Structure 1
Amino acid sequence: MTISEVHLSAWLTLCFCPRVGGKVMTRLRAIDSPENILNYNTDQLTALGLSSTQIRYLQCSQHKDVNKCLEWQEKSDTHTILPLSSPIYPKLLSEISAPPPILFIKGDPLTLSEPQVAIVGSRNASLEGLDCAKQFAHSIVQHNYVVTSGLALGVDGYAHHGAIEAKGKTIAVLGSGLDNIYPAKHRSLAHRVIENGALVSEFRPDAPPRADNFPRRNRIISGLSTGVLVVEAAERSGSLITARYANEQGREVFALPGSIQNPTAKGSNGLIKAGAKLVSSPEDIFDEIGALTECAISHQPSLFEQEVITEQLPFPEVFATVGSEATPVDIIAERCQMPVHEIMMQLLELELQGFIAAVPGGYIKKRRG
């Protein structure tokens, strides 16, 4: 087994441990790396607050579910398992409050780090709404953005189709494992998405679709994107959940106005009343997110940032791994491929100079006025 496989196996083992959800995983990562935690003895694991059932699982020499995932990755060059520690894990997604610790991907994983606009909406959208989803997706990819959605029937499917027909890239985030495409009607569309972008899921490849998976996946749709466009949404719909996540994550929320007689437009009209930006053309989106994209997603620093890095910032590589949400020390060390004790010294220097701040769970960037 190679070092990368050992590293990945440790992440999968901790993720698949019974009752280790996102919050527990975040707490454990703030204490130590998954590889180190798996070497803890029973007393040390108990001190972490883990139950006897969890400890037995972690101390098991063989994990069939982990091995299945590693075998899945080996089956195809298009299969990727991406832990949060990976240097190619999408930066925007890593900065949300509960980033998925593991992503399963079919397609090009680098697509996830490209500038994106999410398009979501009703499964029972009007013909006008479906046409708008397709037209907006067409225009969005022509402006060099990736269209991200959820592969659902209705607006999602038309958004993916619009992006592909315009020879652009698209990402579909699933509420099931990547080997269980849902809905089944979109299996052929899923293959086209793989060829023109990526399928993504936080669930193991053989996981079936479950109702409670879909609200969870919506935070990934918004977390990957700079802005979220809601085409049509009923008063209670998954699209409104995505919009709420987007608002909490500091993303721009856009909505197309609809007829007050259209029940699938009540939710999107309500978003506009609540402060979402009303859009009537794709240009309304580009005007709003152009500057944001350059600041948040671009891999090249601005002229001002270049000046700070060359003249003031002592450890730019370490600083670049810290975002607006708490980043644990072990994650920073893994991304920089440096020992933890060296990272701690550099973090202390950055903190003393006012570039970052220590908070529960790790470090965050400080706004320097």
Structure 2
Amino acid sequence: MKERIYWLCWQTIMPGSARRIWQLYKAFGSLKAAWEASDKEIQSLVGTNSRAAEALLKARSCLDPIREIDELNKIGAEYITYKDPNYPENLKSVYDPPPVLFVLGKILPVDKLAVALVGARKASSYGLAVAQKLAGELAKVGITVVSGMARGIDSASHKGSLLAQGRTVAVLGSGLNVVYPRENRKLLEEISSSGAVITEFPLGSKPEAWHFPMRNRVISGLTRATVVVEAAQKSGALITADFALEQGREVMAVPGSIGSPLSRGPHQLIKQGAKLVENVQDILEELGITSLFPEENTHQKMKIKLNKSEDSVLKIVTLEPIHFDEIVYKSNLPAQQVLSTLMLLELKGLIRQLPGRYYASSEVG
């Protein structure tokens, strides 16, 4: 068998164990030599009496690499080794990079210019709107948006890029054929058709808790910067930010309401020196690529004509949900006029109605 297939073999029986695979590579000079090494040689490296050594040797004797390749082919996937020319360049420079990536879709050279957008699973309407807007604007200037396809901010980021017809890459904490969360099956298909879905975990791998820190290091490693939109003080998004700092990448954060627990993570990062992000220009400036951004103001309401009452009400409705009664009070307009104005603004796509007679803007900035 060719050398390349032995990378697949070790990744399949030692998922999420990049450091150990690299130890084997260094000890034997190649992963082919490691695969062909005697049981005694393997035991001497991982421990003669360890259960891990026994499990490893058993897995090695049972694995059929051709079957693994056939299973990948069945779902239209492939595997990429660290030695392959299409292995992501940004990821090569991180400590103990995944020796093998399993991929649905295509990783392209343009993905070197990538930004991660991450945040809370139980995000607010404000956070979802910000993530989707930032992702769309990054996509429009040719920047690949990377996230983890989780609920909340991750999904909103992928959707924002797709709506803008840009490239997005999803990094999973499971096998390619194990969709998590389940409701994101269609999203996975959309991402893989125009971008890429990747993981270091082989087919059939379940989304176990310990997989996600591993996934987070890949998210940050693929990108030039990580932007945290909403996150609690102890969250996966902050773990991703920590990995980004360790990898020498930029860390940025979107501020939120001081009364929201989801603002504590981003505010903590800002206090520690992370770039405060109010709009996409802030991200581009931090990366030194402002020349990519169109000179016109992308936050203009697409030159939609507004009458006086629409303009007045729109200035009151922001990304923070506001109750109908408060809009009436602040606008100093009759309640019926405010109601009809809100309906018109919603039809024009400028605001969204939320449960409980609350309203929020559809635009960032």
* TM-score > 0.5, shorter chain as reference: yes
**Which residue of the partner structure matches residue 321 of structure 1?**
none
Residue 111 of structure 1 contacts residue 198 of structure 1 at CA under 8 Å; is this kept in 2?
no
TM-score (norm 2): 0.73
Q: Is the 8 A contact 2:111 2:143 kept in 1?
A: no
Deviations 1:180-219 (A, max 9, x none): 1100111111111011201111111211111111121000
Task: Describe the shift of the 1:11–1:50 C-alpha distance in structure 2 as closer, same or farther (beyond 3 A).
Answer: farther
Give aligned-pair identity as a percent: 36
Structure 1 residues 104 and 27, CA, compared in 2 at 3 Å: closer, same or farther?
same
Cα 1:160–1:189, aligned 2, differ >3 Å: closer, same or farther? Answer: same
**Contact 1:14–1:58 (CA under 8 A) maintained in structure 2:** no
Instruction: Report what 1:63 is aligned to.
Output: 63
Q: 1:41 aligns with which of 35, 38, 43?
A: 38
Name the CA distance, whole Å, in 1 between partners of 2:211 and 2:223.
19
**Corresponding residue for residue 17 of structure 2:** 21
Residue 131 (structure 2) aligned to one of 130, 133, 156: 133
How many matched pairs?
A: 287
1:256-335 correspondence runs (5 A): 256-290=254-288
Q: Deviations over 1:254-283 (max 9, x none)?
A: 101111101111111111011111111111
Equivalent in the alignment of 1:310: none
The CA deviation string for residues 14-73 of structure 1, in whole angstroms up to 9 with x for no partner, is 23446992222122222311012223334543443454526734762x514x44421123
Counterparts of 1:1-369 in structure 2, within 5 Å, are 6-17=2-13, 21-31=17-27, 32-49=29-46, 51=48, 53=54, 56-57=57-58, 60=61, 62-64=62-64, 66-76=65-75, 78-110=76-108, 113-290=111-288
* Residues 156 and 59 of structure 1: CA distance in aligned 2, closer, same or farther (over 3 Å): closer
Cα separation, 1, equivalents of 2:108 and 2:205: 24
Distance in structure 2 (CA, Å) of the matches to 1:69 and 1:92? 27
Q: Which amino acid aligns with 2:204?
A: D
1:260–1:163 Cα change, 3 Å: same
Contact 1:38 1:58 in 2 (8 A): no
Residue-by-residue CA offset, 1:308-341 (whole Å, 9 max, x unaligned): xxxxxxxxxxxxxxxxxxxxxxxxxxxxxxxxxx
When residues 208 and 42 of structure 1 are mapped into structure 2, their CA distance, relative to the original with a 3 A threshold, is: closer
Provide the alpha-carbon RMSD of the alignment. Answer: 2.4
Preserved contact between residue 228 and residue 254 of structure 1 (Cα < 8 Å): yes
Distance 1:152 1:20 in 2: 19
Answer yes or no: is the 8 Å Cα contact 1:147–1:159 preserved in 2: yes
Letter in 2 for 1:222: S
Moved more, 91-100 or 22-31: 22-31
Conserved in 2, the CA contact under 8 Å of 1:112 and 1:171? Answer: no
Q: Is the 8 A contact 2:173 2:208 kept in 1?
A: yes
